[in-house]
Amino acid sequence: METRSERDSLGSMGVPAEAYYGIFTERAKRNFRISGIKAEREFIRALALIKKAAAAANTGLGLLDKRMGEAIIAASGEVAGGKWDGQFPLDVFQAGAGTPFNMNCNEVIANLAIEKLGGRKGDYSVVHPNNHVNMAQSSNDVIPTAIRISTLFSLQPLLSEIGKLAGRFRKKAEEYKDVVKTGRTHLEDAVPIRFGQVFNSYAKALDDCARRIKAAEDSLLQLGIGGTAVGTGINTHPRFKQLVVAKLSEYAGFKFSVAADSVLATWSASAFLEASNSLRLLAAEVVKICNDLMLLNSGPKTAIAEIMLPEVEPGSSIMPGKVNPSVPECAIMVCYQVLGNDYAVAEAAKSGQMELNVMTPLIGFDLLWSIKLMTNVLGMLDEFCVRGLTVDAERSQQLLEKGLSLVTALNPYIGYEVAAEVVKIALRDNKPLPQVILESKILEEKDMKKILDAKAMTEPGLVDRQLQQKVQNSENFKQFKQSLLKP
């Protein structure tokens, strides 16, 4: 492989002749061969936009030669657009504070700008990675700013997928709004609930997650760029912060503001932790929803089977015809990974020392990975699971009639103790609840049907006081109740 020689404070080293990165990137590439995972596209885009904004600000302030500034701006635009992603070879696990990431971007943009000005790659007398591309910047303010911007870029598709899945559940709620099923608490039969209510609750849970994510975005919009090494702004023009943030707002399409305290913005990872927490909450809700879908789908002959999930693949290598809830299973695995990522972000967020948190590469990687995972998994759930979900109304009615939880509606009329005895008899004699009620003669059939209207039980309602008095004054009820007192 043909190389060119570059020199830094540690000495000389060969760099691939055709590479637009330089010696700093080459050293980091050799040092940190850990995961094989490279930076996300949105992170590279954010880094390049920072370089573009800084060059525009410094050129406007007269600190950067106009011709050189325009070359850096043009090169940064190409990098931001994805043309040179192959020139970013570094592992996401690398030196603290992300200095290799920052220098990788500086070197690529410098060499692109050099060629635009008629020079040859590696001739940093034309455009220098540190002196010109990195002017008025430090890895310590660039990398946290890049994480903020790339997170905001990445959250937009995620919010879209959350909205789609929530909308899908609302459609299912409308489709099955009148289908009543047995509610279940502690995995035991409970009072009735409508599928419309169940699916609407899933949609609302997702809406709440979107709201929390949007709240986290507010903190990410406050940028510490211009704070340089420790947040004090050394080596920057007094107007640089305002100008670079204004340019970033223009280039990235967000309404950024200068951080109120750039020293705090340099060492604090609280904004990233807030965003990660919102993803953790989303993952937790999705796990619960997927568990519900799998339980409701369970069977199909020996368990609940009140809903049917789409068949996406054969479920067994040994049992013919078996079909598993593969999509929810995958979704839960992904959510557990996101929960683990959040733990890593939390540990990294509290690991800052003095004026810097050097764990930003880990924070950025886990945060962006979690967003990507959740974006993809919600799309999968929508397309291959919820969209084709159907409710078996007949099965739901069968299980409802077999259950004993309907007796709860009798409490205001016959009291808890008598109702409990009715359930006991039904279980002991293996009889349906209505049969036991009619055989005990504590209610007339028409009154029983009115009280045990399953759909009416799925919403608040007033006790029929006349009926209550009628039941409690009847001789049959009094005798049945009296029989409970006998030893």
- Residues annotated as part of the active site: 316
Query: Which residue intervals of 260-325 are DSSP H helices?
Result: 262-267, 270-297
Q: What is the 3-state secondary structure (H, E, C) of 134-195?
A: CCCCCHHHHHHHHHHHHHHHHHHHHHHHHHHHHHHHHHHHHHCCCCEEEEEECCEEEEEEEH
Which tokens go with 207?
A: 């809406």
Which neighbouring-strand residues pair with 330? Answer: none
Instruction: Record the tokens describing residue 227, joined without a space.
Output: 């704070």
Dihedral, 378, 380, 386, 390 alpha carbons, nearest 10: -170
Beta strands in 289-359 (DSSP E): 307-308
**Closest alpha carbon to 137 in 67, 25, 56, 251:** 56
The C-alpha atoms of residue 431 and residue 443 are separated, in whole angstroms, by 17
Beta-carbon neighbour count of residue 25 at 10 Å?
25
DSSP 29-60: HHH--SS-PBPPHHHHHHHHHHHHHHHHHHHH
Place of tokens 């005990």: 440
Between CA 336 and CA 345 the distance in angstroms is 14
Q: How far apart are CA 487 and CA 485, in angstroms?
A: 6
